[in-house]
């Protein structure tokens, strides 16, 4: 495997896994639901979604090209045998799993865990547990796996699940609604500023397994939360499907900041293997003056389709999207956002930076829609692409729809490469070419990085640097 560049998260955890037989049918869905001991309404929801999914066709509109996915050749449920009975505390977890997360830089045990961040660790189809539960409970913050929430807070889940991303929304969202196994649930009560950053770490381990996590985050009136998401997977030769759904709801005066550093396995230099990352993320600014901001650093996956969006329903609500997408080798990233302005005086900002290297294709796809009632709506978008090497592609596909003449919408985009003058200037001061490129790319992405919480930002910068070194060097 000397050909393979360094992907330090590419190791496999040797552990006994319990799966439900490959393939998808109503029995599999019933089995998942039974395994999770779900109430009837949840099973009904899954079946309704599954039946709808059967009527849909897989989309092929995006700028992506890949071998067809055989939906009958995927495991829809995989969990470590040792967590069949969920341990009461993370300290009691299978040492192999604890070691795995430690290698990923996410220690889970009491004495080692990171302060200031509460982490929900998701391994294949199940959540292993959540750190810092006591502090959160003291503030009334609910942060647990969605399976647990279905048991403990059924009224909240029933009230909000599928309200932002309905099961009919798109092919992958329908599939997710039918088979989702786990994910995080979070509720910030009225007026509470969440004392810790909340974080979910997703790890795909098992082979030929799809990961379909579901995240539901509700910020009640006047609350605030900073949410971080990280993901990695082992290096395997075959493709794996990841079709997550994330729903955010911000009520009056609430603010949600959602950040992702996505580093799923990308496949090897020839494009063998890697994750298909087909994700639906959407937030609804339901109340007046509510705010949702999405920040993402997309550096992994063989193919990414992902458009974290905001529905700006409440008057004066604010949506933001900050994105860095780096593609290398044979990666294909098609990512962007939708800002749907419904309420009066709603505002949105879009900053997207794409870097394409190798034979990869990196596309920004966006929609800014101003509906007739969105008096005084405003949007500003800036989408810049950088090409490194002459075999990659950079596309920009923004769409602007304005149905209210009082709106002001501006979009700017540019495509360029690293300027030779800048490169020469830095090299003449003694920096190596790789260092120069890395510095210049960091400068290019700065507006996005500064939106991330500090530790995340440092990690993101390191990740981009490492990827650039490997793809340019």
- Chain residues binding other proteins by CB under 8 A are 61, 370, 385, 387-403, 405-417
Q: Which is nearer to other proteins, 57 or 115 (CB)?
A: 57
Q: Which is nearer to other proteins, 286 or 396 (CB)?
A: 396
Q: How far is the CB of 414 from other proteins (least distance, A)?
A: 4
Q: Which is nearer to other proteins, 145 or 360 (CB)?
A: 360
Q: How far is the CB of 304 from other proteins (least distance, A)?
A: 18
The end-to-end CA distance of the chain, in Å, is: 18
CB 211, CB 202: distance < 8 Å? yes
How far is residue 441's CA from residue 417's CA, in Å, rounded to a whole number?
10
How far is residue 214's CA from residue 303's CA, in Å, rounded to a whole number?
20
Q: How far is the CB of 68 from other proteins (least distance, A)?
A: 21
Q: Residue by residue, what is the 3-state secondary structure of 46-100? A: HHHHHHHHHCCCCCCCCCCCCCCCCCCCCECCEEEHHHCCCCCCHHHCCHHHHHH
In the three-class reduction of DSSP (H, G, I as helix; E, B as strand; rest coil), residue 122 is classed as strand
Q: How far is the CB of 408 from other proteins (least distance, A)?
A: 4
Q: Which is nearer to other proteins, 16 or 65 (CB)?
A: 65
Within 8 A by CB and 6+ apart from 360, the residues are: 327, 328, 329, 330, 331, 332, 333, 392, 393
Other Cβ atoms less than 10 A from the Cβ of 254: the count is 29
Q: What is the DSSP letter of 175?
A: H
Closest CA to 194 of 127, 250, 252, 142: 142
Closest CA to 53 of 137, 174, 163, 187: 174
Q: Which is nearer to other proteins, 69 or 413 (CB)?
A: 413
Q: Which is nearer to other proteins, 139 or 417 (CB)?
A: 417
Q: How far is the CB of 472 from other proteins (least distance, A)?
A: 12
Residue 84 corresponds to which tokens in the numbers above?
A: 């069949």
Q: Which is nearer to other proteins, 55 or 111 (CB)?
A: 55
Closest CA to 324 of 357, 302, 296, 349: 296
Strand partners, 220: none
Strand partners, 80: 17
Q: How far is the CB of 386 from other proteins (least distance, A)?
A: 9
Q: How far is the CB of 398 from other proteins (least distance, A)?
A: 6
């Amino acid at each position: 495997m000397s050909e393979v560049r360094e992907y330090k998260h590419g190791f496999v955890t040797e552990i006994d896994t319990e799966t439900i037989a490959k393939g998808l049918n109503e029995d599999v869905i019933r089995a998942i639901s039974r395994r999770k001991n779900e109430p009837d309404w949840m099973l009904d929801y899954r079946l309704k979604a599954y039946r709808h999914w059967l009527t849909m066709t897989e989309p092929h509109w995006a700028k992506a090209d890949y071998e067809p996915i055989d939906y009958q050749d995927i495991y829809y449920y995989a969990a470590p045998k040792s967590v069949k009975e969920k341990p009461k505390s993370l300290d009691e977890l299978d040492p192999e799993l604890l070691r795995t997360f430690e290698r990923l830089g996410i220690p889970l045990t009491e004495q080692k865990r990171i302060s200031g961040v509460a982490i929900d660790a998701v391994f294949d189809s199940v959540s292993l547990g959540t750190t810092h539960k006591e502090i959160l409970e003291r503030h009334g913050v609910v942060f647990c796996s969605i399976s647990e929430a279905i048991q403990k807070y059924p009224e909240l889940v029933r009230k909000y699940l599928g309200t932002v991303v309905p099961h009919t929304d798109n092919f992958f969202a329908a599939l997710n609604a039918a088979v989702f196994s786990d994910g995080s649930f979070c509720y910030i009560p009225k007026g509470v500023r969440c004392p810790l950053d909340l974080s979910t770490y997703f790890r795909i381990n098992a082979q030929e397994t799809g990961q379909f996590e579901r995240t539901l985050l509700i910020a009640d009136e006047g609350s605030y939360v900073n949410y971080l998401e990280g993901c990695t997977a082992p290096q395997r030769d075959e493709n794996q499907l990841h079709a997550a759904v994330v729903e955010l709801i911000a009520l009056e005066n609430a603010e949600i900041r959602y950040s992702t550093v996505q580093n799923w396995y990308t496949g090897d230099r020839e494009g063998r293997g890697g994750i298909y990352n087909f994700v639906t993320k959407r937030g609804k600014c339901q109340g007046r003056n509510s705010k949702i901001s999405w920040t993402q650093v997309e550096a992994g996956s063989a193919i990414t389709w992902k458009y974290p969006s905001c529905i700006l329903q409440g008057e004066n609500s604010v949506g933001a999207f900050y994105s860095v997408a780096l593609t290398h080798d044979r990666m294909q990233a098609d990512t962007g956002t939708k800002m749907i302005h419904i309420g009066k005086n709603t505002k949105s900002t879009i900053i997207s930076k794409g870097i394409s290297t190798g034979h990869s294709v990196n596309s920004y796809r966006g929609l800014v829609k101003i509906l007739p009632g969105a008096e005084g709506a405003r949007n500003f978008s800036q989408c810049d692409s950088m090409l490194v090497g002459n075999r990659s592609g950079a596309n920009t596909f923004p769409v602007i729809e304005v149905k209210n003449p009082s709106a002001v919408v501006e979009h700017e985009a540019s495509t360029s490469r690293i300027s030779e003058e800048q490169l020469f200037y830095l090299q003449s001061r003694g920096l190596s070419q790789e260092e120069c490129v890395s510095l210049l790319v960091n400068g290019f992405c700065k507006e996005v990085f500064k939106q991330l919480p500090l530790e995340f930002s440092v990690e993101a910068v390191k990740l981009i640097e490492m990827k650039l070194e490997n793809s340019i060097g």
